[in-house]
Structure 1
Amino acid sequence: MSAALGSTTISVGGDYDVVIGSGVLGRVADLLGADVERVLVVHPPTLDALSGAVADALRDRGYAVHPAEVPDAEAAKTASVAAALWAQLGQAGFTRTDAVVGVGGGTVTDLAGFVAASWLRGVPVVQVPTTLLGMVDAAVGGKTGINTAEGKNLVGAFHPPAGVLCDVDVLATLPQADLVAGLAEVVKCGFIADPVILDLVESAVADDAGRARSAANPHLRELIERAVRVKADVVAADLRESSLREILNYGHTFGHAIEQVEHYSWRHGEAVGVGMVYVAELARLTGHLSGPEGDALVDRHRSVLESLGLPTTYAAGRWDELLTAMRRDKKSRGSTLRFVVLDGLARPTRLAGPDDALLQAAYGLVSRRDASGAH
């Protein structure tokens, strides 16, 4: 890791860099490399001005820029949108030495990465995440994908980016609900690897809860850097999610099930927040967390997440739907459900094939009695 001129650079296994700082958008060309001639800039309609600034920075360096507007949010992550981008690449004559740049939230960076991975069996991609979730999760690690009717990210590829550029200034205009949802992934890194993250969140909430939930959080850049460092360390050790990398899925199996059952009307971080409480309760039920320390850690899940305004419960009466969705999750192995649980703070482990009665009991501990699923 290095820091210079107001930015921090975190290396991911020596393969690529994540640059974090203020006013760093103009450095996108530095991450592309010398051989690129054409660049497809993928962005949602809400980020015309920001993507235009990125495109201008690329044109100033002599690149031929091809803007590509895609739908907002999960509507971007479909086979039809990917096919339209492939057509644009083909019509523009993109070769293996050309590149894709994704400017947007996690859905855009997932899509841009998948299109880059699949075009000519792989062209470079630089990710410019514009949401907190994108900065600490989706844009880092090289996991790309699109959704199908059967589930989220079921079609995808591992395709490490050429670089990631996180300009924290763009978070000032991010809606608070989206920033808070992104904080769920930051908190996840605190529970699985870096407890200082939890201390910083709790300190910020104690000082000013409203400020802690906004881009004015005085610890926000440090939280981003710590979360990226957690992910970078794990990804460098396990590029293709064969072992260690699974710990980054803490809270995601149940969280993805909520997203699917709710037809993606929940924000990812909101669903993962409930998912983390679910697996904390599951860890207690299966004996991974026990005694006063275990009880306190389960309670800390609720207190930290609720202090940020994140949901920690889900509607009762929907267990069958959730279980069906979890069994389709890509982290399952055959008919065996797999979860990441904690043996203690920053001590993640795997739990494979827990008894269905325990799974349902954990659901009972996070469910409430309204039927709407609203949050």
Structure 2
Amino acid sequence: MPADLAVIGLGPLGLPLAQAAVAAGIPTLGYGTGPESGFLSPAELRRMLSGGFRPTTSPDGLGRVRTAVICAPTPRGADGGLDLSGVEAAARTLAERLRPHTTVILESPVHPGTTEEFLCPLLEEGSGLRAGRDFHLAYSPSRVDPGNRVFTPAGTPKVIGGLTPACTESAAAFYGRLTDKVVRARGLREAETVHLLETNYRHVNIALVNEMAVLCHDLGVDLWDVIRCAETKPFGFQAFRPGPGVGGHAVPQDLTGHAGRGLRMVELAQQVNSGMPRYVVQRAAALLNEYGKSARGARVLLLGVTYKPDFADLQGTPAHEIAVRLLELGAAVSYHDPLVPSWAVLDRPVPRVDSLYEAAAEADLTILLQQHRTYDLQGLSVKAQLLLDTRGATPTGAAHRL
């Protein structure tokens, strides 16, 4: 059966889209040059393959689909902006094979204006076709939350903005097969800015509670109890919780140097959130000192090194900087994570412990960085000599909280 959809980029954005499409009965071609199994369990991948998913590293099939969705990564570049090289490579590959009447959709996180000013010329130049006349072009911000079992693609509204009204409707017809609700934006830039707002909203609010965590520790106030009480307010408040930093693939965008003026609040939020790994290490050193131990030579066990719970992804994880800073202080660092069989920092492997309780009992300090479901935090708090909980996940009074 020929593929009806091509997903270009089999990473944390592309694979969930392909998975949802296959579940909806859409024969799907997955084009990528990297392994996809890191974001899917073997059982999930088998189900997709049996349902019509065809992963490939050959671009030949891209010219035989009705819809092509670009999900290339756009990490932060050396200059602090978004690196669009993945989008460019995907566009050039697709353009050489683009046929009339195809619908091309970009889902990669980008600055407003990128689809029309950057992607569109690449597609037109490489194909000889005209966007809005010969093929449809649209943008749809990805709303994937990897590992979330509550909010699935089918139950998450999809925002779409097209180059023309016809482009919008073509993209809406495609996404209407995957989700219960399609939301039409006025155009490409509005749809692109939706992702900007959603990502920055998360980072700004996390930065607020991270600052509150530092303040409350200094004041001797239990922030976790403050949040518990505050979230009972039925309006005007949404609970966010502090942590050791912010990881993941969604990069906050302050648009400095892009739109004439930047978003000052986002820039400040980035400063606050990027400073949390340093603060965690300061707290760790202070705790060791309180108990008559020095960070130099201390055995420190890190629990959960992925950027989010129950998901095997290390992208942007604050655990990396925390490990680096502890090593610089002279600590002997080891880790436990049921989802990460091996982990390296500063180009050298970090020892992985197998017996969690035994390792926690031997460590001078155990730091909970990610609360995977498999962790028995009550039992852990009993076994650990000294436990620093950066997620507020342990029972009250069972550990030192961030």
Assess same fold via TM > 0.5.
no
Max Rg structure? 2
More helix per residue: 1 or 2? Answer: 1
Higher RCO (CA < 8 A, seq sep 6+): 1
